[in-house]
Amino acid sequence: MKRGTCKHFYGCDKPCGKGHDIREVVGEEDTGWLLRIPCITIAAGNMSGSQRSHWNRRVSCVDYTEPTEAEITEFDADMEAHLKRLAAVKPLIKKIKEDAAEDAMGETKCPVCDNTLRWSISSFNGHVWMKCSTQGCVSVVE
C-alpha cells in the first residue's frame, strides 16, 4: 500500500476490495489496458509515445481512495513482521528439504511462536507447504 495507488487495489488478476473487475472497468481494446487502470495514479519512469497515449486515457473509479498515512504505516509494519516470520522459517524449509522425502509431511515446533507447525513436500515440484497452528503466524507455499 502506498501513495498513488488505491487502497482497494490488490492487483489486476482479481477484483478490487470494492468488488470491481479491473479489466471490465477499463473496457476498450486489449492493447495498453493496464496503463488505463484507475487504481494507480503515479506514472512509472519513461514511457513511449504509445504508452503515454494509453496513460492519458486512464478511466476513473468512484471508489478510488488514497490510503492514509496511518494505513500505510500499519501496512508497512505488517509487511515487516511477515518478512521476519519468513526469515525465521527459511532455515527450517532448507532442513526439511534436505532430510525428508518428496510427498512427505510432518509436524515440528514453530520457530516463531513455539506452537505446532505442519508441513508437507509436494511430490510434483518438491515445494514445501507449511502452516502454524497459531492464527496469523507462519503460512508458506513455495
Answer whether residue 76 is part of any domain. no
In the chain, how many domains are there?
Answer: 2
Each residue's pLDDT tens digit, 62-112: 999 999 999 999 999 999 999 999 999 999 999 998 888 878 999 999 999
109 and 60 within one domain: no
User: What is the domain range of residue 121?
Assistant: 81-141
Which residue type does 35 have? L
Which residue type does 34 have? L
Which residue type does 120 have? S
Structure pTM? 0.72
Answer whether residue 72 is part of any domain. no
Distance, CA of 21 to CA of 9 (rounded, Å)? 10
Distance, CA of 10 to CA of 6 (rounded, Å)? 9
Cell of 15: 477484483
Answer whether residue 5 is part of any domain. yes
Composition of the chain by helix, strand, coil, percent to 5: 35, 15, 50
